[in-house]
């Protein structure tokens, strides 16, 4: 992400909002949708345009699980950790993903192809356990479907976690 690109995307987003910190989350969400993450350049641009320091924006953004400060992986899998998903084996699903990708939740594979995250609850509890694959809900997950899902996404079976 070049500095110029990041700065101009910030200006584009800001143009849609009235001034003030009231819309900070919405603005950050739009910037992240646009750039994929919140870069230093983007936050610098925001701080200059709003009445807050970069540190204060970062402090707000770092509170929320949704905001990333590094570019995301090619595919991100969110495993739902809601109660219903948990009692119907969601913890097993997370464990399987962790084993097969060789990473813990919150991390990315070294080739940056896969990111694994927990998500609190997407509200599909009747169809637990549930995962989100690049934002799309996949319900009724089982250990076997973990395998087939990953191979659909291009993960080679037995790929050595580096």
Q: Does residue 59 interact with other proteins by CB under 8 A?
A: yes
Task: Report the distance separating Cα 121 and Cα 79, nearest Å.
Answer: 9
The CB-of-87 to other proteins minimum distance in angstroms stands at 5
- What's the alpha-carbon Rg for the chain, to the nearest Å? 18
Q: Positive or negative CA dihedral for 103, 107, 110, 111? A: positive
Of the pair 22, 134, the CB lying nearest other proteins is at: 22
Residues 115-144 that bind other proteins (CB under 8 A): 118-128, 130, 137-140, 142-144
**Residue ranges of the alpha helices (H) in 62-139?**
83-87, 90-101
Closest Cα to residue 4, out of 53, 37, 28, 39? Answer: 39
Out of 5, 86, 107, 113, the residue judged to bind other proteins by CB under 8 A = 86
The binding site for other proteins (CB under 8 A) comprises 20-26, 28-29, 40, 43, 51-60, 62-67, 69, 81-88, 91-92, 95-96, 99-100, 118-128, 130, 137-140, 142-144, 147
């Amino acid at each position: 992400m070049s500095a110029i690109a990041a700065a101009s995307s910030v200006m584009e987003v800001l143009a849609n909002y009235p001034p003030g910190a009231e819309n900070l989350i919405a603005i950050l969400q739009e910037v992240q949708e646009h750039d994929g993450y919140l870069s230093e350049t983007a936050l610098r641009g925001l701080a200059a345009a709003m009445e807050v320091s970069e540190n204060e924006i970062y402090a707000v953004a770092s509170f929320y699980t949704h905001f990333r400060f590094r570019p995301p992986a090619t595919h991100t899998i969110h495993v739902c950790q809601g109660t219903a998903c948990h009692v119907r084996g969601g913890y097993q699903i997370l464990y399987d993903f962790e084993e097969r990708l060789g990473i813990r939740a919150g991390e990315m594979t070294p080739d940056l192809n896969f990111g694994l995250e927990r998500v609190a609850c997407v509200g599909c509890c009747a169809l637990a356990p549930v995962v989100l694959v690049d934002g799309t809900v996949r319900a009724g997950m089982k250990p076997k479907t973990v395998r087939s899902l990953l191979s659909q996404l291009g993960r080679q079976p037995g790929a050595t976690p580096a």
